[in-house]
Amino acid sequence: MDHAHPAASAASAAPEAPATAHAGALAARRDRAVRAAVAQGLVDDARQPVAALLDVASVRESAAALRTAFAAVTADGQDVLHTFAVKAAALVPVLRLLTDCGIGAEVASPGELALARAAGVSPARTVLDSPAKTGAELSEALALGIAVNADNPQELSRLDALRPSPAARLGLRVNPQLGGGAIDAMSTATATSKFGVALRDEGARDWVVRAYRERPWLTRLHCHVGSQGMALDAMAAGVRATYELAEEINAAAGRRQIDTLDIGGGLPVNFASDETSPTFDAYARHLARTVPGLFDGRYALVTEFGRALLARAGTVLARVEYAKSAGGRAIAVTHAGAQVAVRTVFAPDAWPLRVRAYDAQGRPKDAPAVRQDIAGPCCFAGDLVARDRELPLLAAGDHAALLDTGAYYFSNPFGYNSLPRPGVYGFTCDDAPRERESANGQDGGAAAAAVRFLPVREPQTLDDIVAESGGARRDALL
Ligand SMILES: *Cc1c(COP(=O)(O)O)cnc(C)c1O
């Protein structure tokens, strides 16, 4: 059986376009934003010594790249809903921006649903996945008319009790148990993963087919095989297993009961350079080769990308407070540590980040590279965002930038040492003054002035911290 869409085969023969110009533009905007953030006082003593910068153009570009990649392989008129995994950047203006780019929301908690609703994401463009939905969540989701992917048999029974209408958009998450990727904690298709119905367990597949036969309102099938560290082959194999199961269920039902396949997210991000690899385009073409039937127009599709949409757009910019040395090791003590880069600090091998060195004015530092630790402000020894890393030697008053932190970093802060959540500032660059910017940054101020910051989240204040730490209940335990 070969349902390959003609566009898919044509696209798969074409070589990948070089991404270098795109990567260069991204890096140039980032440098300008850092310069501007320092010039405009976003990280000075009066505010906070750490701030998060989000490149609006990069968000728009990656959303467009995703849509274009799938448009190139889907059949004419095939319905594709791209949703953004809200957990990757749980910020209302970001969700709003993505909505404006044609991207809906994948939510996994009442909080995430509330954020999506606050951003104006319509129920028709919202999908609820979560391994632990409460009865109240399920009722609300059905009342709102958002799509729900049930995780397990008990949850399906709860849905039974709610007597869903045939128009409800309900599915089941399955785990094809294909094995893990490079990062255990991100691998959702292992034999013992907590997510979905484990398809290869004894009797499970037959049970799933029966579950659909007994529930005419069950019209979707969902699979998300993992995040970061999954190879394209593994991702495509998961999608293929899902597609094959849908075909089997529909054959058993004698009708096209499953009309929508939700293929999850999980495209990995290359944290080692500014080059986007793999691209959405490469993944879509890979899917078109591996699961051609997905793109012949019989199924509506849903995707749920998070990291690959947003990581590139974000930079954490922190002042270097002190530069010291211990046991022969240079150490830059900065204001970016576990509170903004929790995964990198606690699982440094799985989540290395690039660090870029900027001087006190926010210009790229070009001093000779020296091995040094880049430490954060938290009071535990492991609070390092980079160990023994070769970088221009950072001095007190310089700045360190953590790159590719637009997803799962500053948007997922960790409460430690009562450190405030940093402000998040979107930025846009006006193109005009670029020509005037000289190599030594002498008139970089002009370029910096053409960077406009759009506050997304105010820095948390000390009053906020006291308030959320029981400040109003001072005497509660007396
Ligand atoms: C986290 C998650 C995603 C997004 O994963 P990324 O790696 O950020 O693309 C998509 N779907 C589900 C169900 C998830 O849990």
Q: Per residue of the chain (478 residues), what is the pLDDT tens digit?
A: 333 333 333 333 334 444 588 899 999 999 999 999 999 999 998 789 999 999 999 999 999 999 999 999 999 999 999 999 999 999 999 999 999 999 999 999 999 999 999 999 999 999 999 999 999 999 999 999 999 999 999 999 999 999 999 899 999 999 998 888 888 888 888 888 899 999 999 999 999 999 999 999 999 999 998 888 888 999 999 999 999 999 999 999 999 999 999 999 999 999 999 999 999 999 999 999 999 999 999 999 999 999 999 999 999 999 999 999 999 999 999 999 999 999 999 999 999 999 999 999 999 999 999 999 999 999 999 999 999 999 999 999 999 999 999 999 999 999 999 999 999 999 999 875 544 444 444 455 666 669 999 999 999 999 999 999 999 999 999 9
Q: Residue 324 Cα, ligand 1 centroid: separation in angstroms?
A: 40
429 classed as catalytic:
no
> Which residue out of 101, 223, 378, 379 is catalytically annotated?
379
pLDDT single digits (tens) 244-256: 999 999 999 999 9
| Choices 3.40.50.460, 3.20.20.70, 3.40.710.10, 3.20.20.10: CATH for 79-305 | 3.20.20.10
Using DSSP's 3-state secondary structure scheme, residue 149 falls into: strand
Render 279-300 in DSSP notation, one character per residue: -HHHHHHHHHHH-GGGGSSSSE
Fold classification of 312-461 (topology level): Lyase, Ornithine Decarboxylase; Chain A, domain 1 (2.40.37)
pLDDT at 157: 97
pLDDT single digits (tens) 231-275: 899 999 999 999 999 999 999 999 999 999 999 999 999 999 999
Name the residue at shortest CA distance from atom 8 of ligand 1. Answer: 306
Average confidence score pLDDT of the chain: 92
User: Whole-angstrom Cα distance, residue 347 to residue 145?
Assistant: 39
pLDDT single digits (tens) 69-125: 999 999 999 999 999 999 999 999 999 999 999 999 999 999 999 999 999 999 999
Q: Residue 6 Cα, ligand 1 centroid: separation in angstroms?
A: 30
Query: Which atom of ligand 1 has the smallest separation from the CA of 307?
Result: 8
Query: Which atom of ligand 1 has the smallest separation from the CA of 309?
Result: 9
pTM over 0.75: yes
- H helix or E strand, kind and range, residue 47: none
Question: Token pair of 37, please?
Answer: 């953030």
Mutate to test the pocket of ligand 1, among 81, 94, 106, 412 (most ligand atoms within 8 A of CB): 106
Query: Which atom of ligand 1 has the smallest separation from the CA of 87?
Result: 1
User: Whole-angstrom Cα distance, residue 350 to residue 421?
Assistant: 24
* Ligand 1 neighbours by CB, cut-off 6 Å: 85, 87-88, 106, 129, 224, 227-228, 264-267, 304-308
Q: Are 374 and 318 contacting, i.e. CB atoms less than 8 angstroms apart?
A: no
> Where in the chain are the domains?
79-305, 312-461
CA distance to 53, 185, 268, 270, 307, per residue, from 351 (Å):
20, 11, 12, 11, 13
pLDDT at 445: 60
Q: Residue 83 Cα, ligand 1 centroid: separation in angstroms?
A: 10
- What backbone torsions phi and psi does residue 391 show, to the nearest 5 degrees? -150, 155
Measured in whole angstroms, the distance separating CA 328 from the mean position of its chain's CA atoms is 38
Per-residue exposure over 129-163, b if at least 16 CB sit within 10 Å of its own CB, e if not: bbeebeeebbeebbeeebbbbbbbeebbebbeeee
